[in-house]
Amino acid sequence: GTNVTIGEVITYSVDITLPEGVTPSLVVTDALPSGLIYVAGSGALDTAGFAGTVSAPTISGGAADGDDVTFTFTGPVTVTSDNNAANDTFSIVLAARVSDTAPNQNAQTRVNGATVNSAGIIQTTNTVTATIVEPDLGVDIVVNDVTPIFGQTLTYTLNVSHTVASTSPAEDVAITVTLPAGLTYVPASVTTPPGWTVDTTTPGVLVFTIAEWSSGSIAPTFQATVANSPAGEVSLNLGTT
């Protein structure tokens, strides 16, 4: 099987071997499972090493998640009668994207296969299994003094880690830290983890971002001054793809 992430594109190849001579009609249907959606325009015919004549098929279906994709060959397919089984095969290639849908969760599998209808004789191909892998991040924030006084400078530590359930890198990670009224961020006090960037342009808001984070943990710190009694707790928002 193959490990895939949400949004990843999987390329499938369906090999079609026909008897030498003329096959009057041919229809190939790829039964994409729920959780995969056909990438429009990706269907193609690969005749490398094929001895014979086959026209490009008409492609239909695949408009929605889990829709079958059908390749209909409008004319007969001719395989050269040369008693050479090595050149009796051509392929259909197509791509499918892993959908960002609720059923596509970590460790779920998506099984894809196809049927080949050759002049009324229906054969089923082998199946290919893709396993969905996803990141799982733990995020919390702690402060060095939970009972501060007016004018005190506090140090906050943001703890972020891949949990044991995490099975893939996290893409486009954005962690937003919002200070409540009564706390003022101390300029330039944030420590930036290697590979990460921190945006502090919005007053009272720190946004930690990284394009791809494979594993491990970080614990950046920043400081805030108590201007008056804080009206609430520091809030966190985590976004990944």
| pLDDT tens digits for range 173-215 | 999 999 988 899 999 999 999 999 999 999 999 999 999 999 9
Q: Which of 84, 17, 86 is nearest to 49 (CA)?
A: 86
Average pLDDT on 163-174 reads 90
Average pLDDT on 50-77 reads 96
Summarised one tens digit per residue, pLDDT across range 14-55 is: 999 999 999 999 999 999 999 999 999 999 999 999 999 999
What integer pLDDT is reported at residue 241 of this predicted model?
46
Summarised one tens digit per residue, pLDDT across range 76-131 is: 999 999 999 999 999 999 999 999 898 999 999 999 999 999 989 999 999 999 99
Average pLDDT on 58-62 reads 97
**∠ at Cα 227 (225, 231), nearest 5°?**
100
Q: Kind of pairing, strands 69-73 and 58-61?
A: antiparallel
Distance CA 192, CA 108 (A): 35
What integer pLDDT is reported at residue 16 of this predicted model?
96
CA distances (Å), origin 49, targets 29, 89, 118, 123, 188:
23, 8, 20, 22, 63
Looking at the predicted structure, is the pLDDT value of residue 146 above 60?
A: yes
Structure-block tokens of residue 112: 């894809």
Looking at the predicted structure, is the pLDDT value of residue 228 above 80?
A: no
> Residue 225: how many CB atoms within 10 A of its CB?
16
What integer pLDDT is reported at residue 171 of this predicted model?
86
Query: In a 3-state reduction of DSSP, which class is residue 178?
Result: strand
Longest C-alpha distance within the chain, in Å? 92
Q: Which of 226, 213, 231 is nearest to 175 (CA)?
A: 213
Task: Lowest mean pLDDT of 44-48, 85-89, 163-167, 232-236, name the range.
Answer: 232-236
Distance CA 103, CA 105 (A): 6
CA distances (Å), origin 15, targets 29, 47, 77, 85:
12, 10, 14, 13
Distance CA 166, CA 196 (A): 19
Query: In a 3-state reduction of DSSP, which class is residue 86?
Result: helix
Q: Which of 151, 228, 237, 170 is nearest to 202 (CA)?
A: 237
Looking at the predicted structure, is the pLDDT value of residue 237 above 90?
A: no
What integer pLDDT is reported at residue 163 of this predicted model?
92
Query: In a 3-state reduction of DSSP, which class is residue 185?
Result: strand
Average pLDDT on 49-73 reads 97
